[in-house]
Amino acid sequence: MHMSDSLISPIVAGVGAVVAVSLIAVAIRRTSREAGDKMIPMMGVMGAFIFAAQMLNFTIPGTGSSGHIVGGILLASVLGPWAGFLVLSSVLVLQALLFADGGILVLGCNIINMAATSCLIGYPFITRPLLAGRRTFGRVMWASVAGSVVALFIGAVGVSLETTLSGITALPTAAFLRYMIPIHLVIGIIEGVATGMVLWFLSWRRPALLHNADLDKQKGTSAIWLTLAICSLAMAALFTVIASSSPDGLEWSIVRTSGVEEIVAPATSTTHRFVEAVQEQTALIPDYELSSAGLIGCAILLVLSFILSLMFRNRSAKANK
């Protein structure tokens, strides 16, 4: 989801920009070290490809509506995480400059929410490990869907936090999250399925194109752990869906948070109200929205813990060699 400049404050945009620039700097260094300037035409053309791929809609089976992919996991599968990240970031830059798809200041945030989540988290930590082992259709689809869902989930959290922390919108964080997360989980599944189908086509037609094509010779021991972790995340996320689809849903939470019934407020000074409002919005997760707080906390812990476990696993694997 491309964020636009209008809902963001320069401070949040600035932080996002700093993070994005650092990631890009690392990506440039890694890519030039591995392949040098040879990658320039390849990355440019792949950027054009992914742009074209984003434009092509497919019908979502079962519904009448159409979807399209962003393609981060696809790019990372072919070019590797860092080059894929650079390519997708470039596409975002181009879209912001030429097509008003996303703002310039908020570009850093968009790069984090869309490019970093899929290429630097979804692919290396979820999709690639899950692709290890015998490459069957089911496995490819699962790897792709899991990676996409995680990427989009983190992206949705990112968008919500960045928007509400900016303080321009009146929507509180929890409400925003309740709105964003279920939608993005569904989008994640769709993108995952679509990407998986392309990956399956590639692994059949031109397997050598896939980055780390020799993955199928490696053992897929992490698959079980990852699958468990992802299932727990999915269950936690499901709670949000259930919570937000409860009869009162979003309107109810808005009514509650705005306190419409209690709007017969005494006329205090504008500054006082403004400060109140700011406090309300900067409190990251207002305490009456306990379930959302719990969910987010759980999700963050989960993601962190299995990232850590993967790091330790790699280290012990190297030690055993």
Interacting residues with another protein between 34 and 93 (CB under 8 A): 36-49, 51-61, 66, 74, 78, 86-87, 90-91, 93
| Sequence letter at residue 288 | Y
- Token pair 């440019």: residue: 44
Distance CA(171)–CA(155), nearest Å, equals: 18
Q: Are 209 and 202 in contact (CB under 8 A)?
A: yes
Residues in the chain: 321
Segment contacting another protein by CB under 8 A, of 148-156, 235-243, 270-278, 300-308: 270-278
DSSP state letter for 172:
-
Cβ distance to another protein smaller for residue 246 or 270: 270
- Quick one: 33 or 219, whose CB is closer to another protein? 33
Chosen residue from 16, 20, 23, 24 binding another protein by CB under 8 A: 24
> Cβ 256 to another protein, closest distance in Å?
11
Of residues 62 and 224, the one with the C-beta less far from another protein: 62
Site for another protein, residues 143 to 182, rule: CB under 8 A:
163, 167-171
Contact track, another protein, 205-224, x by CB under 8 A: xx--x---------------
Can you tell me which of 232, 257, 291, 309 binds another protein, judged by CB under 8 A?
Answer: 257
Nearest residue to 31 (alpha-carbon basis) of 89, 81, 88: 81
Which residues, listed in sequence order, are joined to residue 66 by a DSSP beta bridge? 59
Give the C-alpha separation, 102 to 98, whole Å: 10
8 Å CB contact between 17 and 105: yes
Nearest to another protein of 254, 302 (CB atom): 254
Give least dist CB 312 to another protein, A. 33
The span from the CA of 159 to the CA of 153, in Å, is 10
